[in-house]
Amino acid sequence: MDSPTSNPWSPEIGDETEFLLEQFPPDNRQSMRDEAVAVLSRCVPPTAPGGRETGLVVGYVQSGKTMSFTTVSALAQDNRYRMIVVITGTKTNLFRQSTERLMQDLRLPDIGRKWKHFANPNLRGTALRSIESALQRWEDESVPEADRQTVLITVMKNVTHLNNLIQLLSSLDVHSVPVLVIDDEADQAGLNTMVNQGAESSTYQRLLSLRRCLPHHTFLQYTATPQAPLLINIIDALSPSFAEVLTPGQSYRGGQTFFEHQPADLLRIIPDGQIPTNDNILTEPPESLLEAMRVFFLGVAAGMRIRASPRNRSMMVHPSVRTLQHEDFFRWVDAAMRRWQAILAEPEDEPDRQEVIIEFREAYDDLAQTVTDLPAFEELVGALPRAIRETVPIEVNTRGNRRTPPVEWHQDYSHILVGGSSLERGYTVEGLTVTYMPRGRGVGNADTIQQRARWFGYKADYLGYCRVYLSAGTEQAYRAYTEHEDDIRNRLREHALTGRPLRDWKRAFLLDTALRPTRNNVLGLDYMQSVYSNRWFEPDAPHDSQDAVAENREVVTQFVSRYEFAPDTGDSRRQPHMKHYVVSSVPLRDAYENLLTKLRITRSTDSTPFTGLLLQLERYLENNPTSTCTLYQMSPDKLRERSVNEDDEIRNLFQGAYPDTKGEIYRGDRYVRADGELTIQIHNLRVLSAGDRKVIADNVPAIAVWVPSTMSKDWLVQNQNQ
């Protein structure tokens, strides 16, 4: 049985955590400490007899998630967890990157440390005996506390390595061993990609098998893009039961910086004609690429002259997922560097050199807009030959039998990396200042697009040197994602304050309809994406539940009694059921809080879009708190009858035009609304069966809502109670 999440325990800060925290900047130290305690306190306590728990930890892209789970690991060691398993990297370079960081930050190579580290262990070596002896130390009362070591296992998210680990753990007695399992980039590779086929994908199977080996553990999912873990079925073994949201340090710069606060300074749009597509084959380097390189090299020259932060300077070129285009762009980058080196070595009066100097001057003027202490142009021109000569261009991808080449950051100051998927999720480009990404948004999976944003990170000290070149469509996708990201993080935080498990969290958040939340093959339940813009919300089954009908009747009665309604205007020849009462200038917040949010909508075909409607109104009220709406009581003096169809849904809530479709006397209910303002119609119905027209329900309140385009906001809602 899963352990409860509503009664967290209190981890104690010990030597391991204190030493690690000393490495952080002072302004980030306290938040890192507090958040590590918050995460570990939701895990199965090390003193519990057993139990399994699944948690989700949400950060930002390039915001320090690795340092977060390193701190949680140190805190776990302080609190007598005997084993920590870190599942990291689907590629060798990512696995190596994460493992090296853990080794460095936890000082694993130091003699006498409280850790035993094993990378991709198996039964063929000495790992079994060594791990077994480390675990037995915890049971031996004669062993001093200082000599008890926590086993730290790093393993690739790879079927072979996971199989090896499962075999190893199956050979150990870990029944009473408190274990922490950390799944880095948890939304990638590990989820069940065959859920819609009623089967289990291979990596997913291994993760479940790994968890079955550990009777006492917590499975922590770390990610910056939580859409997939949140939208998988809550009965899935990898569906989290709690979520913690991480706060980045003060020098972090992410989506808000690049797509909200100062986009004109840092963003550049690549013209459509310079973006490689099947219909637009590029045969020479696009001018925007050369422009980006000039800006980058001037930044490198400045860094060399004044030894400015960061330790490295890098440019990332991400043209496509296809390696053939990587070859083209790498060749263009290399050729441009060689050409500029040769031309800058020519005498100053040479026309080619003068032309190149003019081009670099334009790039300098661009950079000077955002760098306040930029050295003089003449000074940087003198440093340009060295800046170009000492920059290492690398094609970062796998081709044929060649593995992705490692980048030796400590060897060279400046790099230009050209690649595709190898430069995406989890990969850190040290000192990235200039990004050139003509690649489009593809199929529009929001989490995948966001994971390409390698230019996010701790860049406050050198933000002025940063530039991001994107296609117009990709730039729009990032703007939409930034709003979505803030919304989903805020909703997770608010839910955490309630103390309820994550299964109770309503899967509803803002998301541009041009984007999909994640890949469909991991989602066993459908979701709805839509927007109300100059259209009605109208319920199909307001009679669905007798209890809900009674409650809604009381809600409507109380709300209506607070306002003075008056007869609406219209043709005197209207029939009684075409005459209504109206009240204007009703505070929208009052209608939202005391009418709409209190209604019980029980039929999923109604509740899903109604939840989306409430999301739109919530966001609109945040920016327009004093806005008003108009209310209509539809045909209050004449009870309306509506019959249902074979699906038990009302055939047509709205009264049509009269006396014919031209509507000379009455245009129809759909036109009973205020101009440019949200309108709420309150209907009172007698609902009749489809065949014999017997009364199914009486005095049924039905609320229809007209939403003007000024309140448009795209949303996603998933009903988990299917």
pLDDT band at 277 (very low <50, low <70, confident <90, very high): confident
Percent of the chain scored above 90 by pLDDT?
83
Per the listing, tokens 């019959």 go with 643
pLDDT band at 262 (very low <50, low <70, confident <90, very high): low
**Average confidence score pLDDT of the chain:** 93
Give the pLDDT confidence score for residue 443 in this predicted structure.
79
Give the tens place of pLDDT for each residue, 471-498. 999 999 999 999 999 999 999 999 999 9
225 closest CA partner among 478, 460, 30, 404: 478
**What average pLDDT does range 339-363 have in this prediction?**
96
Cα 547 versus chain centre, distance: 38
Give the tens place of pLDDT for each residue, 690-706. 888 899 999 999 999 99
Lowest mean pLDDT among 112-116, 412-416, 537-541: 112-116
Which residues face 612 on adjacent strands? none
pLDDT band at 1 (very low <50, low <70, confident <90, very high): very low
Buried-state track 471-483, b at ≥16 Cβ within 10 A, e below 16? beebbbbbbbbbb
Pairing of strands 457-458, 252-253: antiparallel
Lowest mean pLDDT among 126-135, 614-623, 713-722: 713-722
Cα 604 versus chain centre, distance: 26
d(CA 357, CA 28): 43
Pairing of strands 457-458, 467-470: unpaired
The 3-class secondary structure across 283-297, one letter per residue, is CCCCHHHHHHHHHHH
Write the DSSP string, 430-452. Answer: TTEEEEEE----TT-BHHHHHHT
Give the pLDDT confidence score for residue 177 in this predicted structure.
97
Give the tens place of pLDDT for each residue, 48-75. 999 999 999 999 999 989 999 999 999 9
Give the pLDDT confidence score for residue 266 in this predicted structure.
93
d(CA 487, CA 230): 14
d(CA 687, CA 56): 45
654 closest CA partner among 630, 675, 635: 635
**What average pLDDT does range 373-398 have in this prediction?**
93
The residues, ordered by sequence, that sit 6+ positions from 151 with a Cβ below 8 Å of its Cβ are 82, 83, 84, 115, 116, 118, 131, 134, 135
Task: Give strand ranges (E) for 511-663.
Answer: 528-530, 535-537, 566-567, 581-587, 628-633, 640-643
Per the listing, tokens 């190893």 go with 168
Q: Decide if pLDDT at 310 tops 80.
A: yes
**What average pLDDT does range 87-107 have in this prediction?**
91
Which residues face 394 on adjacent strands? 417
pLDDT band at 3 (very low <50, low <70, confident <90, very high): very low
Per the listing, tokens 């790039």 go with 363
Q: Cis ω on the peptide bond leading into residue 25 (within 30° of 0)?
A: no
Give the pLDDT confidence score for residue 31 in this predicted structure.
92
**What average pLDDT does range 224-248 have in this prediction?**
96
Give the tens place of pLDDT for each residue, 413-456. 999 999 877 666 777 889 999 999 998 887 789 998 898 888 99
Task: Give strand ranges (E) for 540-694.
Answer: 566-567, 581-587, 628-633, 640-643, 679-688
Domains and their CATH numbers in the chain: 15-245 (3.40.50.300), 252-481 (3.40.50), 528-718 (no CATH)
Structural contact between residues 72 and 237, judged by C-beta atoms closer than 8 angstroms: no
Give the pLDDT confidence score for residue 320 in this predicted structure.
76
pTM, rounded to two decimals: 0.91
Give the tens place of pLDDT for each residue, 498-532. 999 999 999 999 999 999 999 999 999 999 999 99
Buried-state track 432-444, b at ≥16 Cβ within 10 A, e below 16? bbbbbbbbbbeeb
Give the pLDDT confidence score for residue 264 in this predicted structure.
60
The residues, ordered by sequence, that sit 6+ positions from 197 with a Cβ below 8 Å of its Cβ are none
Which residues face 58 on adjacent strands? 223, 245
- Helix, strand, coil % over all residues of the chain, rounded to 5: 40, 20, 40
Pairing of strands 679-688, 640-643: parallel
160 closest CA partner among 83, 103, 90: 90
d(CA 65, CA 165): 24
**What average pLDDT does range 649-662 have in this prediction?**
96
Token readout for 100 is 């090296």
Q: Decide if pLDDT at 32 tops 60.
A: yes
Q: 79 vs 37, 179, 351, CA distance in Å?
A: 11, 11, 70
**Counting runs of H as helices and runs of E as strands, what totals does the chain give?**
19, 25
Q: Decide if pLDDT at 404 tops 80.
A: no
d(CA 481, CA 256): 10
**What average pLDDT does range 648-669 have in this prediction?**
96
d(CA 481, CA 489): 12
Give the pLDDT confidence score for residue 47 in this predicted structure.
95
d(CA 614, CA 715): 10
pLDDT band at 407 (very low <50, low <70, confident <90, very high): confident
pLDDT band at 405 (very low <50, low <70, confident <90, very high): confident
**What average pLDDT does range 463-471 have in this prediction?**
95
Structural contact between residues 1 and 36, judged by C-beta atoms closer than 8 angstroms: no
Q: In degrees, to the nearest 5, what angle opens at C-alpha 453 toward C-alphas 449 and 457?
A: 150
Give the pLDDT confidence score for residue 27 in this predicted structure.
78
3-state secondary structure of 183: strand
Give the pLDDT confidence score for residue 323 in this predicted structure.
67
User: Which parts of 281-412 fold into alpha helices (H)?
Assistant: 287-306, 323-344, 351-368, 377-389
Buried-state track 626-635, b at ≥16 Cβ within 10 A, e below 16? ebbbbbbbbb
Lowest mean pLDDT among 306-320, 322-336, 398-412, 671-685: 398-412
Greatest mean pLDDT range, 66-75, 248-257, 712-721 = 66-75
